[in-house]
Amino acid sequence: MRTDSELFWDSLGPIVLGGITGTIPLAVVSFVIGLAIALGIALMRLSKVRVVSAIARFYISVIRGTPLLVQLFVIFYGLPSIGIVVPAWPCAVIAFSMNVGGYAAEVIRAAILSVPRGQWEAGYMVGMSSSTTLRRIILPQAARVSVPPLSNTFISLVKDSSLASLITVTELFRVAQQVAAFSQEFMLLYLEAALVYWVICLVLSTAQGRIETRLDRYVAH
């Protein structure tokens, strides 16, 4: 019979591998798609067309006003009831991306509004259109402001990805559950999973600091 120490080290490899091949890809893909959704929703939110702005506000309200787990279950278990069957992994990506889109949209909108109006005027003075000014001047500066909250959103997403285990997606926590069920050492395996999540978040926090330093050169002083 294996000791707790032996079980810990024997299971560490599969759990870490579950994080590398399951949790991280799921979080990265969902976050990238979610950012694209968030940018679109943020620009809609800033639109002077009331209908467009209202649609964006409604989307944000629904996403922020309902639990992520419920959103995940609606897509995975609810859609098949109306004839739409989506595999587990894409289901998780859709749910997480939509969730990120709702939360990150307000972050991006606030970051865009934080850029001084003079930056827009400077772009117009050199002959840039609104879209070009937004792309070349406003968004690079807004990116620096939005990095800390968006990084926190990504870190939260990495942790929330454990919910995907409830729809049979194989990721870090799912692997820990499987090993725990086999060994019956639930406390040890769940604490080990928590440790791996913590290490991942520490690495991401370090990367966040470096990204902030690099983007600092784009900020107008």
Q: What per-residue confidence (pLDDT) applies to 217? A: 60
Share of the chain above pLDDT 70, in %: 96
Domain ranges of the chain: 4-218
| pLDDT(138) > 70 | yes
Task: Average the pLDDT over 101-121 and give the result.
Answer: 89
Q: What per-residue confidence (pLDDT) applies to 216? A: 65
87 versus 7: the higher-pLDDT residue is: 87
For residue 211, name the pLDDT band (cuts at 50, 70, 90): confident
pTM to 2 decimals? 0.88
Q: What is the CATH T-level fold of the domain 4-218, as seen in this structure?
A: MetI-like fold (1.10.3720)
Q: What per-residue confidence (pLDDT) applies to 28? A: 96
Share of the chain above pLDDT 90, in %: 59
- pLDDT tens per residue across span 147-186: 889 999 999 999 999 999 999 898 899 999 999 888 888 8
d(CA 98, CA 71): 9
Q: What per-residue confidence (pLDDT) applies to 215? A: 63
| pLDDT(220) > 60 | no
